[in-house]
Chains A and B, each alone.
Chain A
Amino acid sequence: MPEHPPLIQVQDVWFTYPGGVQALRGVNLQVSAGERLALLGRNGSGKTTLAKHLNGLLVPTRGRVLVAGVETVGQDVGRLAALVGYVFQNPDHQLFSRSVREELAFGPRNLGLPPGEVARRVEAALRQFGLEEAADTPPAILGFAERRLVAVASVVAMRPAALVLDEPFAGLSWPSVVRLGMLLVQLAAAGHAIILITHQMRAVAAFAERCVVLDDGRVLADRPTRETLVDQPLLKRAALAPPAMVRLGQQLRPYGFSGRTLRVDELVEEYQRLRGARRERR
């Protein structure tokens, strides 16, 4: 059965900024439809530089980036935006319309879609993101978590094949992180590729299946989340911290915990099993 080419291919990409800073040194990466991956690394490791190559905001100094099989070099950034949507770190840098509805309509209109299709996509995005009641509200007066959702929804309304989100969870409390995270899971299930740049390890544990760890412009590791988040030496080298439940599980290894639990529910399950086992022994 013929395989689809990966949605995004980064082939031996090197990138040096005009000032001379070499931000990427031979990065290789492939992302397929439906994947949920986290891009991790300390500030200055090259995460944002790499992310900006995915929608053609930057082009490689050496190597190539292909989106849907076509190289990004020479392509119209507007056309690439239809394939790879980019959600910026600060929603207020992105939002400018008089109403949420207008904000969501902007992207699809810019793609030249007919008004009927634009309206359909806006309504779908309002429903999917739970923004129906806020449809006629100016985004500027919404709370921060809502503005964040509007920013994501406005990019999703363009139905890009891939979505790159730069620190989408920053400034959100955990309940709001979960709300946004579950939407991203739905989008991935519908076939979108989701690429998250984030420092929030609890969110990585909950919503990313794969972690690409960058350090000093290179890919240090590209593995399933479950393996990455328990690898203490790797995390230390990349100046990252494991999520609290990994640390707790590892401290409790002498009591039979695996040290491989990423989340609260997993750790509590292990506790329950060990507690039950101890009762039975007596």
Chain B
Amino acid sequence: MLKGVDLRIEAGEALALMGAPGAGKSTFCRALMGLVPHLTGGVFGGRVEVLGHDTRRVRPPELAGLVAIVFDDPETQLFNLTVEDEVAFGPESLGLPSAEIRSRVDEALALVGLDVDPRRAPSELSGGQQQRLALATAIAMHPRLLVLDAPTAQLDPLGQTEFYQALARLRRQRDLTVVLAEPDPELVAEHADRVAILAEGRIVRDGTPEEVFADPRALAALGVAGPEASEVAWRVSQLEGEALQFATVERAARELARLLERPAASGQPLVSGERPAGSDDA
């Protein structure tokens, strides 16, 4: 599945992992948890070091206090009778004192903005609420690394927005590094500092969203698409003869406004490197 992945993830970063289905994203996420190879078996070469721990030497339960994961399907992750039991489960398994568990549960639910009766059954919540609950259970472990494997794949737009707002709030208040397998390029452009594209088990692109999404045709060849704003950047770049890079609607608006306000001398289009008519040559 993975054929020589080299990647360095810096503390505090939000790295988005993209690639066609089958490219190796979920395998990579599981490798960060040690689930690959300890749970999945298979042939494992190279080294995955998470917060200084070699994942081959350390078993998943030992990484539990450092790395937490949220999967795409709420049903497979939530299995307790009440919301509060769900969030408490992890801290309990760490053997923490009751007062500490109580405090972590309250804090985690507040951080994700899940304002429901904690005695409710998880199955009664909406999909968006369930995924925020799954996020709360993950952060109650006080992880330093949060791995999110397509967390909003089954959610409607409202659920997606709620989840990412919760994640943004979390990142502001906690020292957290995030690895996010997210197929929606609009969400990646909004929420990721960095994007890595996996193809056939290798990382073929690695950079900021603006950089990685700059060439729509190259992306299509990799079975991936960028956000619509990046396609606008590419097309306007052709029109203006100037390399433009933006990936979000907000930056697109600023750049297009700037281009429209830019004075054009004698009706000549501005081309990068060309001086307006009448200026002195150096």
Contact = CB atoms under 8 A, between A and B. Distances in A.
Nearest to B186: A244
Contacts of A173: 20, 183, 223-225
Interface in A200-251: 201-202, 239-241, 243-245, 247-248, 251
A240 B157 contact: yes
Q: Tell which of A145, A199, A274 has the most Cβ of chain B within 10 Å.
A: A199
Contacts of A2: none
A3 B196 CA distance: 55
B256 interface: yes
B61 interface: no
Given A42-B156, A143-B21, A173-B183, A248 B267 contact: no
Given A143-B20, A244-B229, 7 more contacts: A43-B128, A143-B21, A144-B21, A144-B22, A245-B232, A248-B228, A255-B257
Interface stretch (A96-104, A181-189, A264-272): A264-272
A255 B223 contact: no
Interface in B180-213: 183, 185-186
A271 B253 CA distance: 11
15 contacts: A42-B158, A43-B155, A170-B153, A171-B153, A175-B220, A175-B223, A176-B223, A239-B158, A244-B227, A248-B253, A251-B253, A254-B257, A264-B231, A268-B236, A275-B259
Nearest to B227: A244
B230 to A, nearest CB: 10
A252 interface: yes
B235 interface: yes
Interface of B: 20-22, 126-128, 153, 155-159, 161, 183, 185-186, 220, 223-225, 227-229, 231-232, 235-236, 239, 249-250, 252-253, 256-257, 259-261, 263-267, 269
Contacts of A4: none
Nearest to A257: B256
Contacts of A171: 21, 153, 183
Contact of A247 (B20, B155, B224, B249): B249
A44 interface: yes
Contact of A174 (B225, B236, B257, B263): B225
A279 interface: yes
Contacts of A243: 228
Contacts of A199: 156-157
Size bin of chain A's contact surface: 35 or more
A244 B156 contact: no
Contacts of A175: 220, 223, 225
A247 B256 CA distance: 14
B260 A280 contact: no
A63 B227 CA distance: 43
Q: Tell which of B156, B183, B266 has the most Cβ of chain A within 10 Å.
A: B156
A93 interface: no
Q: Tell which of A143, A243, A278, A280 has the most Cβ of chain B within 10 Å.
A: A278
Contacts of A174: 185, 220, 225
B257 A43 contact: no
A271 B265 CA distance: 19
B229 A248 contact: yes
For the complex of A and B, the 3 pairs showing the least CB-CB separation, nearest first, are A174-B225, A239-B158, A144-B21
Nearest to A201: B157
